[in-house]
Structure 1
């Protein structure tokens, strides 16, 4: 295995790796039609999107039974998580995405890859609260804007996994200034030395 095809140290079965590679190919084909990811990132799609998504998987509590991904877009991290969840048997994955074309892609990907997911074609602020063990969101909104959506769908005692860029510390400060309380771990990213994977627990407001 070459370093560029590594998956953050995950010990994957041949089936899971084959599904991820099939998803990469599918995402490349569809991106030309509906712009799933930024065109500039397509040449490095494996690292910039699949590896970047897969590194969230080991950060989830092992006992997690449900996972909601907000603003799933092109399936990063939602479909990647669903592939890894199918291998493990849990959690059940729900993808929330308001763009109808991207929802069509998500459903096609899940069907072709043989992974069970629920796709809700709604905005995160209007979708029925999911009360999931884990909520993720990647490149959706600044933390202060994102946390009301996370809180809407996160079960009490749940974990939020939120990749953030170089301004992660400022976003944490801004969210706390808006009255949000949480415990946070800012974990290093395998794909960007300036980014962090925020693992939030004990989320509350006021």
Structure 2
């Protein structure tokens, strides 16, 4: 993704912080540290490119090392989107707050609680990457997504099976975008969510 000089500088700063903190707390798999840019940053930037959102509220659940939440907040720093990152692990939340502060991401805040323990945020957009199977994610989406909201979920190679499993208890519209960085993976756009 072509990004501005300021965005590129922030992405590089984020990568440095992620590399530094990952030696102390497990933010990403150690086997992927040598390929942070392609495996993690570019992977998340494709979501920023696919989703045209430029205003409203965006919730990233189970943010961990800030993927994709912080990458989206960096890529869309000049938009009117306001990002909230939920991460229950206090050490990871501290990392996220450090990045938000050091990169001066005024469009982003961190909540250090369990997803279901946060009052419904009625948000316009929700994202998640490598958090849980789709059937488990649905309750989180139902809790926090506005009636007309969209969820953008980064899923691995089993995404089609996960959709089928989720349809047993939920009704929703789903559009799949093939991943440009991982063979067989997809980014799912989910909307019109209702139980049953």
Q: TM-score, normalised by structure 1?
A: 0.91
Indicate the residue corresponding to 1:89 in structure 2: 79
> After the TM superposition, which parts of structure 1 deviate over 6 Å for at least 4 consecutive aligned residues?
none
Cα deviation, 1:142-178, whole Å, max 9, x if unaligned, reads 000011101211111111000111100000000001x
SS in 2 for 1:125: helix
Mapped partners of 2:121, 2:72: distance in 1 = 17
Contact (CA 8 Å) 1:82, 1:93: kept in 2 or not? Answer: yes
Q: How does 1:184-199 map to 2 (within 5 A)?
A: 184-199=174-189
- List alignment gaps of at least 5 residues for structure 2: none
How many pairs does the alignment contain? Answer: 195
Q: Give the structure 2 partner of residue 80 of structure 1.
A: 71
What residue number does 1:181 align with?
A: 171
- Structure 2 counterpart SS, 1:34: coil
Shift of residue 23 of structure 1? 0.4
TM-score (norm 2): 0.96
User: Any stretches of 5+ residues in structure 1 without a counterpart?
Assistant: 1-6
1:12 counterpart residue number:
3
Post-superposition CA distance 1:75-118 (Å, at most 9, x none): 001111111221x2221000000000001000000111111211
Higher strand share: 2
Q: Root-mean-square deviation (CA), in Å?
A: 1.1
Match of 1:142 in 2: 133
Residue 61 of structure 1: CA displacement?
4.2
Q: Give the Cα–Cα distance (whole angstroms) in 1 for the partners of residues 151 and 158 of structure 2.
A: 18
Deviation of the 1:60 alpha carbon: 2.7
